């Protein structure tokens, strides 16, 4: 018998972290789906673009991606734990499955999903509440960075500026970034937290050109200076020539110590 659980809550409350912990603890097949939420007046939903799914795929072995039609429509294995993530600003009007936003039903039906339970951050005691903020107004901005590679020093400076108000009042920021040595990093920041998370991905690409994996930046806040962000991005990303210069040094063979005579 499988279990399907829908998890909802406002931006940055810890949905993906809680889901990751729950999936890692499950001793059986695991599946994940993120559905886009619905914006209310003055509250714009962000386009995650696959960041959360990519991070979970990196951290949870053999995770079924239910956004993939082949997985969504295939017969479900026994003891499957399927977790559905939905960004939702306001608490549901009812508890349990009865409180699921009716606008989600077509998407759930399309994926052959019927949640057994619905938990919402800020309402249900099973979920932590320390980062659950009440957003009355929220703007969102996102940028596809696939195929880009960052100058490491410029990335550190940009992120510090971003979360400290150089481009508007940022409440939430998350991203997947590529570095010249082939590493990918998940950056995560929330205004209610004491600092940013900088977590390396498990998979490392060879230092040979631009990685094919997902790279994206999502920002939420007020009075966001999107033009300023885009201008800074163009200054921080490596050109083909600069990338090859850095990667060529990384491809040089490491000298081996000579054997003692």
Task: Please say whether the beta carbons of 170 and 219 come within 8 A.
Answer: yes
With pLDDT > 90 as the criterion, what percentage of the chain qualifies?
Answer: 68
DSSP assignment of the chain equals --EEEEEEESTTSSHHHHHHHHHHH-SS-EEEEE-----BTTBPPP--TTHHHHHHHHHSTT-EETTSHHHHSSPPPTT-EEEEEEE-SSPPSSSGGGGS-GGGHHHHHHTT---SEEEETTT-TTS--TT----SSBEEEEEE-TT--B-HHHHHHHHHHHHTTBTBEEEEEEEEEE-TTS-EEEEEEETTSSS-EEEE-S----SSS---S--EEEEEEES--HHHHHHHHHHHBPPHHHHHHHHHHHTSPPPPPPPP-
Instruction: Based on the fold, state whether residues 7 and 114 are members of the same structural domain.
Output: yes
User: At a CB cut-off of 8 Å and minimum separation 6, what does 30 contact?
Assistant: 23, 60, 62, 63, 64, 80, 81, 82, 83
pLDDT at 154: 96
Q: Is residue 128 part of a domain?
A: no
Torsion sign across C-alpha atoms 124, 130, 133, 134? positive
Instruction: Based on the fold, state whether residues 202 and 164 are members of the same structural domain.
Output: yes
Q: How far apart are CA 51 and CA 186, in angstroms?
A: 9
Instruction: Based on the fold, state whether residues 100 and 9 are members of the same structural domain.
Output: yes
Instruction: Based on the fold, state whether residues 116 and 143 are members of the same structural domain.
Output: no
Instruction: Based on the fold, state whether residues 115 and 143 are members of the same structural domain.
Output: no
Number of domains in the chain: 2
Instruction: Based on the fold, state whether residues 156 and 186 are members of the same structural domain.
Output: yes
Instruction: Based on the fold, state whether residues 109 and 189 are members of the same structural domain.
Output: no
Q: Is residue 260 part of a domain?
A: no
Q: Is the pLDDT of residue 40 over 80?
A: no
Instruction: Based on the fold, state whether residues 38 and 107 are members of the same structural domain.
Output: yes
Tell me which residue range forms the domain holding 35: 3-120
Instruction: Based on the fold, state whether residues 240 and 154 are members of the same structural domain.
Output: yes
Q: Residue 163, exposed/middle/buried by CB under 10 A (0-12, 13-18, 19+)?
A: buried
Q: Is residue 164 part of a domain?
A: yes
| Residue range 74-120, pLDDT digits in tens | 888 899 999 999 998 888 888 888 889 999 999 999 999 999 999 99
Q: Is residue 132 part of a domain?
A: no
Q: Is residue 80 part of a domain?
A: yes
Question: End-to-end alpha-carbon separation of the chain, Å?
Answer: 66
Helices 15-25 and 51-59 pack at an angle, to 10 degrees, of: 30
Q: Is residue 255 part of a domain?
A: no
Instruction: Based on the fold, state whether residues 116 and 146 are members of the same structural domain.
Output: no
CATH of the domain at 183: 3.30.1220.10
Q: Is residue 134 part of a domain?
A: no
Quick one: pLDDT band at residue 133, thresholds 50, 70, 90?
low
Instruction: Based on the fold, state whether residues 160 and 114 are members of the same structural domain.
Output: no
| Residue range 212-248, pLDDT digits in tens | 999 999 999 999 999 999 999 999 999 999 999 999 9
Q: Specify whether the backbone of 190 is left (phi greater than 0), alpha (psi in -120 to 50) or beta.
A: beta
| Residue range 83-96, pLDDT digits in tens | 999 998 888 888 88
């Amino acid at each position: 018998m499988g279990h399907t659980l829908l998890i909802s809550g406002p931006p940055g409350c810890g949905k993906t972290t809680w889901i990751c912990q729950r999936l890692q603890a499950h001793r059986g097949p695991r599946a994940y789906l993120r559905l886009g939420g619905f914006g209310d007046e003055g509250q714009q939903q962000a386009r995650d673009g696959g960041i959360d799914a990519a991070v979970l795929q990196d951290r949870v072995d053999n995770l079924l991606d239910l956004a993939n039609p082949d997985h969504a429509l295939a017969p479900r294995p026994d003891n499957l734990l399927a977790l559905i993530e939905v960004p939702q600003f306001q608490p549901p009007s009812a508890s349990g499955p009865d409180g699921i936003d009716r606008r989600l039903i077509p998407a759930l039906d399309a994926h052959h999903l019927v949640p057994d339970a619905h938990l919402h951050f800020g309402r249900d005691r099973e979920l932590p509440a320390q980062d659950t903020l009440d957003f009355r107004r929220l703007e969102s901005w996102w940028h596809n960075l696939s195929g880009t590679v960052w100058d490491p020093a410029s990335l550190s400076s940009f992120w510090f500026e971003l979360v400290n108000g150089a481009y508007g009042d940022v409440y939430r920021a998350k991203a997947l970034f590529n570095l010249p040595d082939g590493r990918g990093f998940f950056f995560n920041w929330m205004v209610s937290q004491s600092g940013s998370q900088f977590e390396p991905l498990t998979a490392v690409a060879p230092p040979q050109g631009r990685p094919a994996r997902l790279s994206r930046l999502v920002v939420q806040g007020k009075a966001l200076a999107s033009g300023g962000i885009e201008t800074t991005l163009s200054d921080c990303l490596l050109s083909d020539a600069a990338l090859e210069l850095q990667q060529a040094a990384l491809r040089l063979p490491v000298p081996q110590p000579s054997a003692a005579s």
